[in-house]
Amino acid sequence: MKKTKSLTYLALFMAIEAVLVMVPFLGFIPIGPLRATTLHIPVIIAAIVLGTREGCLVGLIFGLFSLFNNTINPTVTSFAFSPFISGNILSAVIAIVPRVLIGFVSGEVYRLMKNRFPTAGMFVSSFLGALTNTALVLGGIYLLFGQAYAKALGRSFASLAPYFISVISTQSLLEAVVGAIIAVAVSKALLKVKRG
């Protein structure tokens, strides 16, 4: 019975990822040439409610949807997430690996904190999971496609790092805090239902 309930939750999180991708401006929110996302939130919640492995699996779904969306609905910077556009398999690494690691970081941080600080553990794991996504995606882009990405944005390569730092310190922090608040509220409710 417990395994069936967990599988049902896992299927639900995967379905939520699909809905977020399919509904315009819900999963991927265009902000200039970048896309803010809400797709990390179900990954974090899955990691808290179901565990690290399941969080990683939902993160994999997020990554595959990111690759798919950037391939069929490209922007000037989509080459960084789609090997079908860039011709470079490392684009798939940027699209997928950080998203899997959202689940890993969120799940492991919560596992370490949940017995002593359950609510704080949910918030910290959610916040760090969201920042993991941002830091690894932007870091990967900078290291692997920096010159091309700067050119696509109409910037010099020298201005790319300060630009990414400004994105992290504004948009990404806001995304992480809002995502953490939502993840804590939903995770608390789901854990109560799951235990009951």
Q: For position 196, what pLDDT does the model report? A: 67
Q: Per the structure block, which two tokens stand in for 134? A: 């941002």
Contact assessment for residue 95 and residue 66, using Cβ atoms and an 8 Å cutoff = yes
Task: Name the residue among 44, 50, 48 with its Cα closest to residue 133.
Answer: 44
pTM above 0.85, yes or no: yes
3-state secondary structure of 27: coil
Q: Per the structure block, which two tokens stand in for 155? A: 């910037």
The mean pLDDT of 55-64, rounded to a whole number, is 96
**Distance from C-alpha of 107 to C-alpha of 44, rounded to nearest angstrom:** 7
pLDDT, one tens digit per residue, over 150-191 is 999 999 999 999 999 998 888 888 889 999 999 999 999 999
Where are the alpha helices (H) located in the chain, listed in sequence order? 2-22, 40-49, 52-72, 83-86, 90-113, 118-152, 160-167, 173-195
pLDDT, one tens digit per residue, over 124-147 is 999 999 999 999 999 999 999 999
Task: Name the residue among 28, 153, 29, 40 with its Cα closest to residue 161.
Answer: 153
Q: For position 25, what pLDDT does the model report? A: 80
Q: What is the DSSP letter of 62?
A: H
Q: What is the DSSP letter of 153?
A: T
